[in-house]
Structure 1
Amino acid sequence: MSTKPITLSGATRIELGAATLLPGLIDAHTHPGWYVDKQGKRNSPRSGDSPAEAALARAGNLYATLMAGFTTIQSIGGPEDDELRDAISRGRIPGPRLLTSLAPINSTRPSPDSMRVIVRGLKAQGADLIKLFASSGLGAGGAQTLSNEQIAAICGEAKSLGLRTLVHAISAASVRAAVLGGCTQIEHGIFVTDAELTLMAEHGTIFDPQLCLVFQNYIDHPDAYSFTDSTLAPLKAAIPTASAMYARALRVPKLKIVFGTDAVALAHGRNADELLCRVKSGQSPMAAIISATSVGADALGLGDRIGSIVQGYEADLIAVDGDPSRDIGATRRVTFVMRGGVRYR
């Protein structure tokens, strides 16, 4: 690939050879604050890493993600997100455009009115969106944890403040409660039935399922997460279950499916692996690309700025080796990255 700029009539031309030009990719669900500490474990308050070590690790996650062609990501909450977002926007560190919920709402104790107060507090702190846990995790079975009233209070208050809501919901019941509660986007939904898929389509609820990357990452690095054979079992079972669910979701008319990976420590920079799993489960390569570009931009409320190659939009552009509309694996062969008109690769 030639990288020598050629100035022509006031414009700058960059010759990319036979590479395919795409809008910058968008990942709607990431955790850039997660990294492996110097003890070889997923970081925690007990890691013992210095603030500088933690900052460097997180900057490395963001750099790896940007170099993989993801120019915008949505972080689902961490105390470090505010500073990371600011550092990227000021150009202090290279990374994708970052939207964040700052902190998730996962306690079941507050009343519906108290939940509204929490939402207002997050808005005041600068949250771009609200993340809530409507169910337990996959390993615990994914049963609904928040009441219907709590869910409706959170999502209703967020909507009144102009904030989107992303809901961790594993079980069919928790997904149904979130949809009927007026929430914006459902994460995971591995145990949904056709009824919940149809309900999401009817209500215009965005669906962001994960099929492989996060599960396989845990399976491949059990020591970093202190997983045992018993805790790995549901993660191994999740991959075929999620793939079958996704194949059913693709057949539901008007269901809005966005691209999100739930990338955690040791998965940053491998976000495009999830695109391959989506295509393997029956989605066309072009539909998978659109879910990670224009559809993703619309879901983030940025559809008038990014996600398409259009005059007047921000210059978030990448190039890949090959034709991803025929071979989705080309999205893993990124040769050029530009975000906001700044060239990084």
Structure 2
Amino acid sequence: MIRARGATARRAARRILACLTASAWGCTRPVPQRPPDSTITIRAATLLDGRGGAAHDVVVTVEGGRIARVDTGVRTRGPVTYDLGARTLLPGLIDAHVHLGWYFNRRGVLHAPDDGDTPTDSYRAIAANARAMLDAGFTTVQSVGGPEDGPVRDSIEARRIAGPRVLTSLQPIVDPSPPPETMRAIVRARVAQGANLVKLFASEGLGGGGGQTLSDAQLAAICGEARSLGRRTVVHAISAVSVRAATLAGCTEIEHGLLATDDELRLMAERGTWFGPQVCLVFQNYLDHRTTYARSGFSPDAFDVLARALPTARETFRRAIHTPGLRVIFSTDAVAGAHGHNADELVCRVRAGQGPMEAIVSAASLAASALGIADRAGAVASGLDADLVAVDGDPLADVTALQRVVFVMRGGTVYRRP
């Protein structure tokens, strides 16, 4: 939200890829494994299914990494693989906006491609970000930061490291100078490079005022080309005019929208555009790590802008969730210092006026639909991947329970247990 990573991040991605292919460097660690044909049973007192439903005395059966069935009202105390007792079982949570490649380096400043970190340093730091979010109950993240995401995504899927399912845009489209036809070619190049989606900047950052930077024709070219190739588009848009332009261009998902008016919120609802606003985490994280970000080149004015944005963000979010038909998904913009604290944003959302069940759904089935993975994730239901999380407490009564994760399973593999 504050600044975009430069094109030099491509060099970092190549270095990380070298690390991935050189296991002798000690870049990886084993991932817990069970035989793919094993059967796992999980008992919990309460289940929130991620679609707005709740059940009690539940046993979930997992076979081959997928949910085979969900039995409710099971009061017998027969043997199960994992007995979660009074804890609450949920689908693995989904964050639609993170930046895996952002971390604080050994010198205590924000990592940059030319800061002297070795490939192993960078890889381990990014892998740690991924593991922190997995341990916090986030089994899917959409990382829209840079090319370094690709090797990490692939390494997680190959089970060389532990982490959430990663969907990535690779390098975002930031430069407003190419004409529309060239923008189309850039989209094709991203897809050829393996991008799951296309990220573009339709406006300046918050510190620059958020004015529109891409023309209506450029937006239409980028989002239209991505759609023709079966890819979603995620748009950084701060100002009302940029939100409106991206929505009219048929882009899939608007991120931030801090200065959107009720007119833009209604327009997104009418057009079926997904909306990922932020309420607190990204702003507060910069402020909580003020000293480190200041050493990294952030100006005093930047922190003033962030502090002033907090009440505006809460108000925009309140108006968004009360806009009929607007699909508001969970999206934190987690950067260095925030990975693993993603659930703090859920707490802020509930305190800003969203019901706890609605907040959970926004980070489960609703987010899965927005990311195009509803056939795999976002709910506790037969046939979906066994992405399951348990928390200590009842998040419907006390939303901070979502910050107390005690059990994490992704694809049938348990990474954290009580």
1:27 aligns with 2:95: yes
3-state SS of the aligned residue for 1:336?
Answer: strand
One-letter amino acid matched to 1:344 = Y
1:48 aligns with 2:116: yes
Q: For residues 209 and 264 of structure 1, what CA distance do their matches in structure 2 show?
A: 15
Note the alpha carbon deviations across 1:253-304, whole angstroms, 9 max, x for none: 0100110100000100000000011111110000000000000100110011
1:290 aligns with 2:358: no
In the other structure, the counterpart of 1:189 is 257
From the superposition, tell whether residues 319 and 113 of structure 1 become closer, same or farther in structure 2 (CA, over 3 Å).
same
Gaps of 5+ in 1: none
Q: For residues 25 and 121 of structure 1, what CA distance do their matches in structure 2 show?
A: 31
Could you state the TM-score of these two structures normalised by the residue count of structure 2? 0.80
Which structure 2 residues correspond to residues 215-226 of structure 1 after superposition, within 5 A? 215-226=283-294
Deviation of 1:13 after TM superposition, in Å, equals: 3.3
Q: Select which of 247, 256, 261 maps to 2:332.
A: 261
1:132 aligns with 2:200: yes
1:16 aligns with 2:87: no
Q: For residues 228 and 88 of structure 1, what CA distance do their matches in structure 2 show?
A: 36
1:207 aligns with 2:207: no
**Bigger mean CA offset, 14-23 vs 220-229:** 220-229
Q: For residues 189 and 64 of structure 1, what CA distance do their matches in structure 2 show?
A: 27
1:239 aligns with 2:310: yes
Q: For residues 195 and 62 of structure 2, what CA distance do their matches in structure 1 show?
A: 39
One-letter amino acid matched to 2:402 = T
In the other structure, the counterpart of 2:247 is 179
Which structure 2 residues correspond to residues 57-136 of structure 1 after superposition, within 5 A? 57-136=125-204
3-state SS of the aligned residue for 1:105?
Answer: coil
Q: For residues 41 and 355 of structure 2, what CA distance do their matches in structure 1 show?
A: 36
Q: Select which of 328, 332, 335 maps to 2:399.
A: 328
Conservation of the 8 A alpha-carbon contact between 2:212 and 2:239: yes
Q: Select which of 144, 153, 165 maps to 2:212.
A: 144
One-letter amino acid matched to 2:339 = H
Q: For residues 26 and 296 of structure 1, what CA distance do their matches in structure 2 show?
A: 6
Which structure 2 residues correspond to residues 307-326 of structure 1 after superposition, within 5 A? 307-326=378-397
Conservation of the 8 A alpha-carbon contact between 1:218 and 1:225: yes
Conservation of the 8 A alpha-carbon contact between 2:388 and 2:409: yes
Q: For residues 37 and 310 of structure 1, what CA distance do their matches in structure 2 show?
A: 41
Provide the alpha-carbon RMSD of the alignment: 1.5
3-state SS of the aligned residue for 1:330?
Answer: helix
Deviation of 1:6 after TM superposition, in Å, equals: 7.3
Conservation of the 8 A alpha-carbon contact between 2:94 and 2:330: yes
Conservation of the 8 A alpha-carbon contact between 1:111 and 1:150: yes
Counting matched residue pairs gives 341
Conservation of the 8 A alpha-carbon contact between 2:41 and 2:62: no
From the superposition, tell whether residues 21 and 127 of structure 1 become closer, same or farther in structure 2 (CA, over 3 Å).
same
Deviation of 1:10 after TM superposition, in Å, equals: 10
Max radius of gyration: which structure? 2
In the other structure, the counterpart of 1:230 is 301
From the superposition, tell whether residues 148 and 326 of structure 1 become closer, same or farther in structure 2 (CA, over 3 Å).
same
Conservation of the 8 A alpha-carbon contact between 1:41 and 1:223: no
Could you state the TM-score of these two structures normalised by the residue count of structure 1? 0.96
From the superposition, tell whether residues 10 and 73 of structure 1 become closer, same or farther in structure 2 (CA, over 3 Å).
closer
Runs of 4+ in 1 over 6 A off after TM superposition: 5-11
Deviation of 1:78 after TM superposition, in Å, equals: 1.2
One-letter amino acid matched to 1:272 = A
**Bigger mean CA offset, 79-88 vs 164-173:** 79-88
Deviation of 1:46 after TM superposition, in Å, equals: 2.4
Deviation of 1:223 after TM superposition, in Å, equals: 2.6
Q: For residues 153 and 133 of structure 2, what CA distance do their matches in structure 1 show?
A: 14
Q: For residues 71 and 142 of structure 1, what CA distance do their matches in structure 2 show?
A: 31
Deviation of 1:113 after TM superposition, in Å, equals: 0.4
One-letter amino acid matched to 2:122 = A
Conservation of the 8 A alpha-carbon contact between 1:222 and 1:228: no
Q: For residues 379 and 212 of structure 2, what CA distance do their matches in structure 1 show?
A: 37
One-letter amino acid matched to 1:269 = G
1:344 aligns with 2:415: yes
Deviation of 1:45 after TM superposition, in Å, equals: 1.7
Conservation of the 8 A alpha-carbon contact between 1:201 and 1:256: yes
Note the alpha carbon deviations across 1:51-84, whole angstroms, 9 max, x for none: 1111111111111000000000000031211110
Deviation of 1:228 after TM superposition, in Å, equals: 3.3
One-letter amino acid matched to 1:114 = T
3-state SS of the aligned residue for 2:406?
Answer: strand
Conservation of the 8 A alpha-carbon contact between 2:100 and 2:145: no
